Amino acid sequence: MWAVDNRTPFAAQGSFLRDRHGVEHWVVAVRACFSLRADGLLDVAPEPPPVRLVGEYVDGQAREMKAAADIAPFRPAADILVRGTACAPGEAVRRTCAVRVRVGAIEKRARVTGRRVLQRTGGRRGRLTLDGPEDFAGVRLVWRAALGGVDPFAEPGSPAAAPHPHNPVGRGWTARWSDLPEGAELALPLIEDPARPVVPGRPLPPPHGFGPLQPAWRPRLDHAGTYDEAWMATRAPLPPEDFSEAFHQTAPADQIYPGVLRGGEPVEVEGLHPDGPYAFRLPQVLLEARTRIGTARTQERLRLVAAILDGSARSVELIFNAAVACNGRDHAVEGSTVTVRQMAGVAR
C-alpha cells in the first residue's frame, strides 16, 4: 500500500497532500539529477539523492532556504532556481564579476563585488565615502549576500527594527539610507542588479538574488491569505478564501517560468565556473505514473515544477510532480508505477 514502483534512474516518492479545498491527493514526485559533460550532453547521477519531503537550508538555523520540498503539485508554474559561487575565469582575484544565467525564456544578470562599506563622516550632512570593493575570489549566490537584513540604525524593539520583508537575512538595508547618522558604517550588498545598482544618493533598489524564498518572505507571504477571526470561524484549518496558489512559487518573480517548461530549453551560464561560460540544453524527460486506487487505474504524465541549476557544479535538477484526487478513497490507494516514456539530451 502507498508504494511507488520506480522504474526510472531517478529518485521517486509518493505522498498525500490536501489542496486548498481540503481534497486529498496522492502525489508522486521525481527528482532527476544530471551533471554536464564536456560534449554538452548530460549524465544521470549514478546515485540519485532522495526526493525532498521538507525544505533544505543554507545553515542550521533555517534562516535561508537552499531548496524547497519537492512535493509541489499545486505550483502554477515552474520555478527556475540558481545556486553556485560567482567567480572570474581561472578564479582570478577581482573586485567585480558579472553573472548571467539564461534558461529558455528567462535571462537574469547580476553584478557581484567584494566587500564594500559606506561611511558618513563630518556630521549628519557630512561626506559619504565608499571603502571598497575589496578583492575576492568567489562569492556565493545566497540571500545573505544580497540587499536586506535588519536595519542596523533602528532602535531595538521598535517597528523600524523589523527585518527587510523581502530578504530578512541580507545586508546593507536601512530605513535611514537617505539620512545616515554621523559615524555610520554600512556593509553594502555583494550581489546587485546591474540595471539597478546600490548608489548613495539614490533610493535603495529591491533585493536581487537567485535562490528560493521562505514562506514568510514577501512576495510569497502576500499570497498566503488573511488569517483572521472570520477564517477561524469558517475555514480553519483550510487556507483562507483569499489564498492564492502563487504562494507555492518559491522562486523570485523574475525566475518563475512563463508558459510551460518542457525540457530541451537552452541554458547559458556565465560567471559561475572557473573554466568560463558554458551552455547546454535542459534534458527532455517524459515521465508517466500509473496509479492504482482500489479497482480503478489512472495514468498521468508528470509535470516539471522546478529546475535547479548549480552553475559551479555544472549540474541541474529537474523536479516532476503528478497528483491524483483520491475523492475520499485515500485508504484505497495502492501506489503508482513510474516509468520513463522518453528521454533526450542525456548520454546513453
Give a yes or no: residue 281 inside a domain: yes
User: What backbone phi and psi angles, to 5 degrees, belong to 71?
Assistant: -85, 100
Give a yes or no: residue 199 inside a domain: yes
233: region left, alpha or beta (phi > 0 left; psi from -120 to 50 alpha): alpha
Give a yes or no: residue 158 inside a domain: yes
d(CA 227, CA 239) in angstroms, rounded, equals 8
pLDDT value at residue 123: 60
d(CA 82, CA 71) in angstroms, rounded, equals 19
Indicate the number of domains in the chain.
1
Give a yes or no: residue 130 inside a domain: yes
Write down the pTM of the prediction. Answer: 0.95
Give a yes or no: residue 64 inside a domain: no
DSSP type of residue 190: S
- Among the listed residues 173, 125, 124, 165, the one whose alpha carbon sits nearest the alpha carbon of residue 146: 173
pLDDT value at residue 122: 67
pLDDT value at residue 125: 65
C-alpha triplet 204, 151, 248: angle, nearest 5°: 75
Give a yes or no: residue 58 inside a domain: no
Provide the 3-class DSSP secondary structure of residue 315: strand
Give a yes or no: residue 119 inside a domain: yes
On the CB side of 193, CA atoms within 13 Å amount to 13
pLDDT value at residue 179: 82
Give a yes or no: residue 112 inside a domain: yes
Which residue type is seen at 11? A
pLDDT value at residue 2: 85
pLDDT value at residue 211: 98
pLDDT along the chain (348 residues), means of 10: 92 96 96 94 94 93 95 98 96 96 98 94 74 95 97 87 95 89 91 95 94 97 96 95 97 97 97 97 97 94 98 98 93 95 91
Query: Could you report how far apart the first and last alpha carbons of the chain are, in Å?
Result: 34
Domain that holds residue 264: 73-213+250-289
DSSP type of residue 230: H
